[in-house]
Structure 1
Amino acid sequence: MKLGDISVSYVEILRKAMLALDSNPQLTLQQFGLTDVTMASPDARISIPRFMRLGFASIQFSQKPWLGLEMGLQTSATNLGIAGLMALSAPDLSTACKSICHYELLSSYNARGQSAFYISDGYGVAQFYSISPYNSFNLFVADSVLSGWYHLAKWLTGRDDCIEAMCFEFDEPEYSAAYREYFDCDVRFSQPYNAVIIKPEALSYPVVHGCASTYELLKRQADADLEKVRMGLNFSEKVARVITPLLNGSTPTLDRVAEQLNMAPWTVRRKLVDEGVTFQQVLNNTRRDLAISYVKDTAFTLGEIAYLLGFGSPTAFQRAFKRWTGIAPGSYLQKD
């Protein structure tokens, strides 16, 4: 299992942000093999680890650690693909937010989870999944997504009074003063989750360019595309996708996975047997594939990887990794 990939439209956002910060992105993009032809392809994707390395390289080149915040400012509805176009034609802000989160999978897949929009105590919550532990390679990702949602909400409605607060899961970074320049609302760090909190009254604000017929047309196409993505997965792959975000700090049980799939545990077990595998095999294979990706493609420590995969200690993880690959994690990295 790979960590995920995203549309190259997100690279376009990064390119625009670099230019806005008076940094030429061309050399960095060339180093990562991102040509104009690739950037113009509707089917081109970039792996999440590669995108994180691109962002890190861009921050080093520009010397602007708040690059992600600027990426949010430069995000337009069209950068989000059909989900963004749906938001642009939605009747109100609540529907726009639901569209962006629900159809996120059409332009972005992350094994760690999926964004969600829901109502809590009357407030709208646009929540971006956790990508902890945070480091220099992924802080900009959370910055860019939440900043993008914030500025899109203002642009879609033509109003500045939509957002109650911006919540960030990570501790206050060294460049925290920049957040006050990008957000005209309460900014909170060390929160339980990453989220944009929308005021209750703002949920019904009309979208300036809303069009009911266009929205329904786009929704019809988006639903069909989403079904194709999901139908392309066999059942064990669907189970693996459910297992992955549940791994953080614990080992997910069959009962918990079945609940996420809205199925009885025995049904999940039977469907897996029909494909010639058991739940434990899917769990072990998911852990193995993610372990290899984390070791090869990220800067996480062994302790962090152990936690992300639900192991009780780094030692337990190292034993499992050696059992899976025949060599220790450090040796595996040197091998490649």
Structure 2
Amino acid sequence: MPSRTITVHHVRAMLHGAERQGIDTVPLLRTAQIPPLLLGDDRARITEVQFARLFRELYRATGDEFLGLGAAVSRPGTFAMMCHASLGCRDLGAAMERGVTFYGLFPGGPDLTLEHRDTGSAVFAVRNDLEHDYFLAECLVIIWHRLCSWLIGRRIPLHWAEFGHPPPPHKDEYGLLFGCPVRFGAARTGAGFDEHWLSAPLIRDEAALEGMLERAPFDLLSRREYGTTVAEQVRRALARALRTSPRLPSLGEIAARLAVSPATLRRRLAQESTSYQQLKDAVRRDAAIAGLAEGTEPIADLAARLGFSEDTAFHRAFRRWTGTTPGAYRYENRGYEIRGYENRGQQS
């Protein structure tokens, strides 16, 4: 299944901490094989592989689990110790409370809260007013949601997610990222879910935790399993079909596979802030970007494999998705990668 691509807005946000520390981020981008010129285009996107490389380079360069984005440094190993401290709890609610208490011990750490509502819902939120940007708060909510889902072995459906900033240019990304309705301009960043999940028992042991920590936190940022949303089921079906045929199934065919009516499928996707057409475009876009950034397949062959009858149609779609042409995108990625290797060779 083609990996998702990531908007350049998140790349810029992730670099802010290192830039504030005076770290030259160009070598880090070079190692991650991300052309710096892409950062100037609001519609540009990178692959998850490139994003993971950059995350690891920033982690190494800053020596901070928060990548320099927080008010204080979170030393490497802090997240792991929080996980070990929470693993022995009787249920998810106790584990979350222990994690909130754990991070509350560090001066300048994030102000995490777990609230119980009279309506039978619970809210996990980051109350810290992160003065630099909101990327860290968003990442903390994502990581906590997916860590909690991992601990109980089931994806916890979110009722809503809210963010303490105005709608950004990439606001349409959020519904798919969190799998629920989203709102902006709130007093904090957080997410709501059914309170009954707090009584779910933890099913993971120390061995499983060690395996997860080897890939954390990026694995938690990119993970989308444990039950899954309707949008993810549709996306998975589309991506699976694209591997074997350029013709993607229709909405009616997908609905039949999920044993629902087309109208029900449309309604459920709308509840998750997306649509069948958006998912179909996203699957083709992500496959195109991955093919151009990491492969050598001729552009005409790639266009045909993705279901475009003419090269011109593929070029128009790719420009609409990214603001550039397939040829220019490949040149920047492959050309910069080659120049990066040459530069490293000259330095060695």
TM-score, scaled to structure 1: 0.39
TM-score, scaled to structure 2: 0.38
